[in-house]
Amino acid sequence: MLSRDDVFEELGIGPVWRLREIATGSSQTPAPVVETRPARDAAAQSPEPSAPARFTWERLADAVAHCTACKLHTTRTQGVLGVGDRNADWLFIGEAPGADEDRLGEPFVGQAGKLLDAMLAAIDLRRGENVYIANVLKSRPPGNRNPEPDEVAACRPYLRAQIELIQPKLIVALGRFAAQSLLDTDESIGRLRGRLHSFLNVPLVVTYHPAYLLRNLPDKARAWEDLCLARHTMRSLPSQS
């Protein structure tokens, strides 16, 4: 089984992530301390091949499945890596697995997932076809409580690894939590949506979380605007030959 240290080494993100020792006697894997320098900057300073050339999805999946980096591993059923087209142009990122996702091992399979599928269909996308869906956290917080900062920090290397592997053209952050943690801000979703951001040099659009939209129907119109912004942005990107 691959340890998280192996994962980071394989990813070539050693210079970006410093591992902090946890109190002796803990069985948990050391939690990473995040530095703000993007992974691509690190790659630019190093003659090493880029991460995806040396790292595989299988190793990442194995690392997530066996991760003990935060306390959530004691309560989750399984780690939920993500689902979809691993070469997708579109990457949708939610908050964390809920009860259904924890049980089935796939993101957005409950009621919120049904609405997400409808949102995808509204812009002619389908789960699994040029679309990858992941969460900031790979393990379910018990009782669906909000993720805690140490849990986000512990999981961040996995999301970065996914982005390195997928190389999406556009990220859509679903909801306040995903948007704030990806953009490292406490600005409200109302202020973050409606404009273009960037995460790890990938353009990023913020919209409401499908679970929120299920409870706040009037904001569906705003979500539609966000999806139009995302689609317009994708269409404006230079095509690769």
* Site of interaction with ligand URA (CB under 6 A): 94-98, 101, 107-108, 112, 135, 211
According to DSSP, the residues that pair with 202 across neighbouring strands are: 199
Closest to ligand URA by CB, 42 or 134: 134
Closest to ligand URA by CB, 60 or 213: 213
Closest to ligand URA by CB, 13 or 135: 135
CB of 69 to ligand URA, least distance (A): 19
Closest to ligand URA by CB, 160 or 209: 209
CB of 115 to ligand URA, least distance (A): 10
Closest to ligand URA by CB, 135 or 207: 135
Q: Beta-strand (E) ranges in the chain?
A: 17-19, 32-34, 83-84, 90-94, 131-135, 170-174, 196-199, 202-207
CB of 124 to ligand URA, least distance (A): 22
Buried b (16+ CB within 10 A) or exposed e, 27-59: eebbbbebeeeebeebbeeeeeebbeeebeeeb
CB of 122 to ligand URA, least distance (A): 18
Closest to ligand URA by CB, 94 or 203: 94
Contacts of 183-190 with C-beta under 8 Å, sequence gap 24+, read 184/36
143 vs 163: CA distance, rounded Å: 28
CB of 157 to ligand URA, least distance (A): 19
Rg from Cα positions in the chain:
17
* Residue type at position 60: L
Closest to ligand URA by CB, 101 or 151: 101
Whose CB is nearest to ligand URA? 94
Beta strand 90-94 with 131-135 is: parallel
In sequence order, what are the residues at sequence separation of 6 or more whose Cβ sits closer than 8 angstroms to the Cβ of residue 18? Answer: 32, 33, 35
218 vs 221: CA distance, rounded Å: 6
CB of 230 to ligand URA, least distance (A): 17
CB of 81 to ligand URA, least distance (A): 11
